[in-house]
Amino acid sequence: MNRAPVGPADEVRVTSAGATLRGCPWPAARRAARTAVPRPLPVERVELAAAAGRTLAEPLAALTDLPAFDTSAMDGWAVAGPGPWRLSGRVLAGQACLPLADGAAVEIATGAQLPPGATGVLRREHGVLTELPDGAAQLRGEVVPGQDVRPRGQECGRGEELLPAGLPVTPAVLGLAAAAGHDRLAVHRRPTVELLVLGDELLVAGLPGPGRVRDALGPLLPPWLAGAGAELLGSRYVRDDFGLLRDAIRHSPADLVLTTGGTAAGPVDFLHAALEATGGHPLVDGVAVRPGHPMLLAALPGGRHLVGLPGNPLAAVAGTVTLALPLLHALSGRTAPAAGPAEPLAAALPGHPVDTRLHPVRRSAAGLAPLPHDGPAMLRGLARAEALAVVPPGGLAAGECAEVLALPLS
Ligand SMILES: Nc1nc2c(c(=O)[nH]1)N[C@H]1C(S)=C(S)[C@@H](COP(=O)(O)OP(=O)(O)OC[C@H]3O[C@@H](n4cnc5c(N)ncnc54)[C@H](O)[C@@H]3O)O[C@H]1N2
Ligand code: MOO
């Protein structure tokens, strides 16, 4: 379709009607994606397993002291008062225990409840057992008060806030929630995504041939989106046809319609026209970033959104980190990281004169090492990368720090 070229020459244009940013600076594009939705998706209370990968909608409070009882940290003997001790009985993890009088000891397992009156735990390898005249066992060894005891409430007290709302529910969060007594968690509904892959030249199997390329984004995007907490409703190949694309966008039930290709001004790039025909309105139309500058974000009727990723695969990845992930995080109620961590560069990264660059990097002993094969149509550098380094206009010298954007590593 015909439209004004997008790029740094356009710079920022803010309309009173809808704050459309055209060729907008990269940091502003990320912010626009984060603030595109008025509020996160509704809150649900779900079982722990179903909460994995979602976002905490409430702070996680401890429902109990942790540990909930004085606990032996070692296998050995719980002792009361100074030694030597007369030994009797055994207490295993999960068993109730009787009080211990001064001068007495009981065999104890790691994780077992410390008997009332016990003053410490003597490790099995540090104790010496002898036989008393009456046949009972006597235990000798050095124990300072509280030794190898995990006192009740050492990690947290009942009611204490363990985690703030807005954190992703990682495996560690699930483990902590269970340890702290939770059976269900309050999390935001997962944002739904429908992926529309555009381009008649794409092959879904076999070898690329004359004029035909393998679809790299159909395989690349779904696991990344799922890892970011989204629910993928489906991936569809849409032929380069205005009407088909318009209808696919119009009828998609997803919170986020994610398209690949068709963002530029080629003869069959119908995305802008289809957007207009469906009543969509662009919020960000082109970003001052390389690769990926034709990426776009639009509001669709019904409170839905569309992110248009450029067809060049590395440009699509740039669009994912710039627009799609921040939007998904906003929908999920996920707290924005303050700014990506900054790490020193092992080598200089030349910049674009006016645009931000995103460059695949790996960590090395000398710092972030830029990877070759970083052209917009290439994935070879990205596939070895641990992160994308953010290179501001003008570039960065070796030793200077670059913000890094994490990439999924599995
Ligand atoms: N006259 C101009 N032409 C282009 C400009 C420009 O500013 N002026 N920008 C270029 C840039 S930058 C990019 S990025 C692309 C964006 O193009 P589209 O989003 O319209 O994407 P397509 O034209 O459909 O495809 C571009 C390229 O990517 C290949 N492709 C598409 N989808 C996939 C996929 N799923 N897997 C692998 N490869 C894919 C496609 O075959 C093309 O080679 O526009 C430039 N042009
Ligand atoms: O965004 Mo394009 O990928 O610079 O080629």
Q: Is the pLDDT of residue 20 over 80?
A: no
Give percent above pLDDT 70 in the chain.
Answer: 94
Confidence band for 336, pLDDT divided at 50, 70 and 90? confident
The C-alpha atoms of residue 71 and residue 118 are separated, in whole angstroms, by 11
| Closest atom, ligand 2, to C-alpha of 310 | 1
Give me the pLDDT at residue 154, please: 98
Ligand 1 site, residue 216, Cβ cutoff 6 A: yes
What is the residue with the minimal CA distance to atom 5 of ligand 1?
A: 264
The C-alpha atoms of residue 146 and residue 76 are separated, in whole angstroms, by 14
The C-alpha atoms of residue 325 and residue 328 are separated, in whole angstroms, by 5
Decide if 189 contacts 178 (C-beta within 8 A): no
Ligand 1 site, residue 282, Cβ cutoff 6 A: no
Token reading at 175: 């483990």
User: Is-cis flag, bond preceding 376, omega within 30?
Assistant: no
Tell me the per-residue pLDDT of 392-406, one tens digit each, with 9 for 90 and over: 999 999 999 999 999
The C-alpha atoms of residue 80 and residue 82 are separated, in whole angstroms, by 7
The CATH number of 71-150, from 2.30.42.10, 3.20.10.10, 2.170.190.11, 1.10.760.10, is: 2.170.190.11
Confidence band for 23, pLDDT divided at 50, 70 and 90? confident
Give me the pLDDT at residue 378, please: 98
The CATH number of 43-65+154-188, from 3.30.1360.120, 3.40.109.10, 3.90.105.10, 3.40.50.720, is: 3.90.105.10
Token reading at 145: 């008060």
**Residues near 139 by beta carbon (within 8 Å), at least 6 away in sequence:** 77, 79, 83, 84, 85, 86, 87, 105, 122, 127, 128, 129
Rounded to an integer, what is the distance from CA 176 to the centroid of its chain?
17
Start-end of CATH 2.40.340.10 domains in the chain: 342-406
Ligand 1 site, residue 285, Cβ cutoff 6 A: no
CATH topology of domain 21-41+190-332: Molybdenum Cofactor Biosythetic Enzyme; Chain A (3.40.980)
Give me the pLDDT at residue 340, please: 62
| Closest atom, ligand 1, to C-alpha of 316 | 14
**Residue tagged 């994490």 (tokens):** 406
Tell me the per-residue pLDDT of 118-140, one tens digit each, with 9 for 90 and over: 999 999 999 999 999 999 999 99
Q: Is the pLDDT of residue 3 over 80?
A: no
Mean pLDDT value of segment 152-172: 98
Ligand 1 site, residue 260, Cβ cutoff 6 A: yes
Confidence band for 284, pLDDT divided at 50, 70 and 90? very high
Q: Between helices 26-34 and 325-332, what is the axis angle to 10°?
A: 30
Start-end of CATH 2.170.190.11 domains in the chain: 71-150
pTM of the model: 0.91
How confident is the prediction for the chain on average, in pLDDT?
Answer: 94
Give me the pLDDT at residue 410, please: 85
| Closest atom, ligand 1, to C-alpha of 217 | 35
**Residue among 296, 314, 354, 373 whose CB has most ligand 2 atoms within 8 A, to mutate:** 314
**Residue tagged 């059976």 (tokens):** 183
**Residue tagged 């409840």 (tokens):** 113
Start-end of CATH 3.90.105.10 domains in the chain: 43-65+154-188
Residue 6 identity (one-letter amino acid): V
Domain 342-406 -> CATH class = mainly beta
Confidence band for 337, pLDDT divided at 50, 70 and 90? confident
Among the bound ligands, the one closest to the CA of 198? 1
How close is the Cα of 347 to the center of ligand 1, in Å?
29
Give me the pLDDT at residue 19, please: 52
**CB neighbourhood size of 220 (10 A):** 19
**CB neighbourhood size of 162 (10 A):** 17
| Range name among 6-15, 222-231, 396-405 with the lowest pLDDT average | 6-15
Q: Is the pLDDT of residue 151 over 70?
A: yes
Start-end of CATH 3.40.980.10 domains in the chain: 21-41+190-332
Decide if 23 contacts 263 (C-beta within 8 A): no
How close is the Cα of 313 to the center of ligand 2, in Å?
9
Give me the pLDDT at residue 5, please: 29
What is the residue with the minimal CA distance to atom 1 of ligand 2?
A: 292
How close is the Cα of 377 to the center of ligand 1, in Å?
8
Angle at 344 between CA 369 and CA 317, to 5 degrees: 55
Confidence band for 42, pLDDT divided at 50, 70 and 90? very high
Give percent above pLDDT 90 in the chain.
Answer: 92
Q: Is the pLDDT of residue 274 over 60?
A: yes
How close is the Cα of 335 to the center of ligand 2, in Å?
29
Rounded to an integer, what is the distance from CA 354 to the centroid of its chain?
30
How close is the Cα of 85 to the center of ligand 1, in Å?
80
| Closest atom, ligand 1, to C-alpha of 216 | 36
